[in-house]
Structure 1
Amino acid sequence: MDTDQGGGILYPTRLPSFHRLPAPEPVAHLVRWFWIPRWRLAPGRTSRQGVLTFPASNLTVEPDGVAISGPTTRISHRDLVGEGWAVGALLRPAGVAALGVTPSELVDTEAPWEAPGLLLSVTDAMAGPDEDAARDRAVTAWTNWLLATAAEPTEAALTANRLEDVVREDRDLVRVEQLAERLHLSVRSIQRLADRFIGVPPLAIIRRYRLQEAAQHLREDPGATVAQIAATLGYADHAHLTSDFRRVLGLTPRDYRSDARRGGEPTSPRES
């Protein structure tokens, strides 16, 4: 199952309920996975979710509508209250193109998306007491909508999928020149693909994946030093990793590790 369950979630213990389900084969070139949180919080309680999102766009269904969100350049937060659910699709580059999305126009942005059929079918699917069955029905509803709606992918879109795969899978890849060599393309071609199908520069894509991996190491491997994690992920030294962390998350790797051990309660006001 290719869902990277821990990837991108900065404080997993804060999550009331969260599942990632792989995209069925007929739409696996369009969607990496479907992500489905569901929450029921006591009156007056708020659950803040911090996410270092994948360098990609998401199309999300909630009871009150559908929204498209582009790639982000920084940590994002959402405060959950009351009761609710969402069913989101992490779009692959070919999925972005197949839906007619221009991701570079949606960086750090969320906008409404008109898809009344998708909204109705997913809302119906999420009804009922059996949450496992509801999730499966929601993925089926999503899949049927995509098969009826999405355009056929172009060769360029599928090449952009391969670009994403290489960055995601090769932890030794830290420079755009390496990516271009792996795909047998020029650096300029890589830049054009990233802009057209993902929305952010290729170096930003590489750094986001490495930064997600660093956060997961910091949470799950308490014996590893920041310098060791930096070396594992191809950073020149721990100072470069610390700089990336501070720029995107607003805190150092050591502070993040301390916060994660405390269940996500920040040790200073910077996250509030």
Structure 2
Amino acid sequence: MAGSGRDTRGIVDAPDLFTHVRFRRREPAPALRPFLEHYWLIDWDLPEPYTSHVVPHPSVHLVFERHEAGSAGERAGRAEVHGIVRGLFSQRLEGRGRVCGVKFRPGAFRPFAPGRPVSDWTGRRLPAAEVLAAPPVGAVLDPDGEDARVTALDAYLLPLVPPPDPQAEHATALADLVRTDRSLLRVDALARAGGLSTRSLQRLFSAYVGVGPKWVILRHRIHEALHRAESDPEPDWAGLAADLGYSDQAHLARDFTAILGLPPTAFTPR
């Protein structure tokens, strides 16, 4: 992977995915980095269909996609805003295709679409034109060169950079704190760290992140558990459950199973 962020947390069996698609991450222009985590680019040319699986982060995505499928090579292109997915995100890929995605930092999408709380987009995929002033799909996907596609994304988003929004900045900082500070395992502790009441924190996250702070904490727990399952042949599940703030291993197994469809002790990447 090129560019920012080599952490594959959330991608189920990342090595297998990378054998089927060409996947890269690229940094946006400096003025966009307070709002965006990275761009992600995928190209594929598959003799057989393949389904990818991701345990999503608490981020809104803007996705430009084109695929060719069938004997006639039908081409379909679209630009969509993907709100946060609460469960497992699965995507079937077939034929040839290309995706250019924009991953917004948690809390940072609202200033680009200030008319509605981000929770209104949660669990939904909408045509980008219904949410943002989106460019033609071809303007982003047509260039063969990766650098040209990144330049096209920058050129589209830079004029949309919103004015400062202290609430958005606060939400982004707190969501990032959950990701980096593993000792923050309770909503009330996060509220204290942010100088907010628990209720005010919940309202802030609903409006700017799109899900509640408890969901964000739990999601990072599952990312860590999935990472451990994929990287350690004999993980200490009881010890990990304690590290992640669970009362016992059974509670970790319940949350893991609810997302992945099987308990952590039965999960085996290819």
If the TM-score is normalised by the length of the shorter chain, which range does it land in? 0.7 to 0.9
Q: 1:142 is matched with which residue? A: 153
Counterpart CA distance in 2 for 1:104 and 1:148 is 25
Instruction: Write the letter of the residue equivalent to 2:104.
Output: L
Deviation sequence 1:111-166 (CA, Å, 0-9, x none): 111255263331233x2xxxxxx333322221221111232231101111101110
Residue pair 2:117, 2:206 contacting (<8 A) in 1 also: no
Residues 219-271 of structure 1, C-alpha deviations (whole Å, 9 max, x = no match)? 01223221122223232221111011112222101122x2x1xx1xxxxxxxx
Sort the Cα spacing of 1:219 and 1:117 in 2 relative to 1 into closer, same or farther, 3 A.
same
CA distance in 1, matches of 2:134, 2:104: 19
Superposed counterparts of 1:185-204, under 5 Å: 185-204=196-215
Give the alignment partner of residue 88 of structure 1, picking from 101, 104, 107: 101
State the one-letter code of the partner of 1:17: R
Residues 2 and 174 (structure 1 numbering): CA distance in 2 closer, same or farther, change over 3 Å? farther
Percent sequence identity is: 31
Unpaired runs of 5+ in structure 2? 67-76
Answer yes or no: is 1:57 the counterpart of 2:60: yes
How far apart are the structure 2 equivalents of 1:107 and 1:200? 7
- Aligned match for 2:219, one of 185, 193, 208: 208
CA contact (8 A) 1:230 1:236 kept: yes
When structure 1 is superposed on structure 2, of 98-107 and 180-189 the one drifting more is 98-107
RMSD: 1.8
- Check the 8 A contact 1:5/1:20 in 2, yes or no: no
The yes-or-no answer on 1:109 pairing with 2:103 is no
Q: Deviations over 1:25-69 (max 9, x none)?
A: 211111111111211101xx1111011010121111113121011
- Please say if 1:156 is aligned against 2:161: no
Whole-Å separation in 2 of the counterparts to 1:122 and 1:27: 17
User: Are residues 55 and 116 of structure 1, via their aligned partners in 2, closer, same or farther at CA, if it must alter by over 3 Å?
Assistant: closer
* 1:192 shift after superposition: 1.1
Distance 1:95 1:144, change over 3 A: farther
Gaps of 5+ in 1: 128-133, 264-272
Instruction: Return the match for 2:43 from 32, 38, 41.
Output: 38
Taking structure 1 as the reference length, what is the TM-score of the superposition? 0.86
2:141 pairs with 1:123: yes
Q: More displaced, 143-152 or 188-197?
A: 143-152
Structure (1 or 2) with the greater strand fraction: 2
* TM-score, scaled relative to structure 2: 0.86
Distance 1:170 1:40, change over 3 A: same
Moved over 3 A (4+): none
Question: What is the CA distance between 1:209 and its match in structure 2?
Answer: 1.2
Whether the 8 Å CA contact 2:36–2:105 is kept in 1: the answer is: yes
**1:14 aligned to 2:16?**
yes
Secondary structure of the 1:47 match is strand
Per mean C-alpha deviation after superposition, the further-off stretch among 90-99 and 148-157 is 90-99
Greater share of residues in helix: 1
Distance of 1:186 and 1:98 partners within structure 2: 23
Aligned AA for 2:24? H
Secondary structure at the residue paired with 2:222? helix
Aligned residues of 2:100 and 2:141 also touching (Cα < 8 A): no
- How many pairs were matched up? 250
Separation (CA, whole Å) in 2 of partners of 1:119 and 1:98: 23
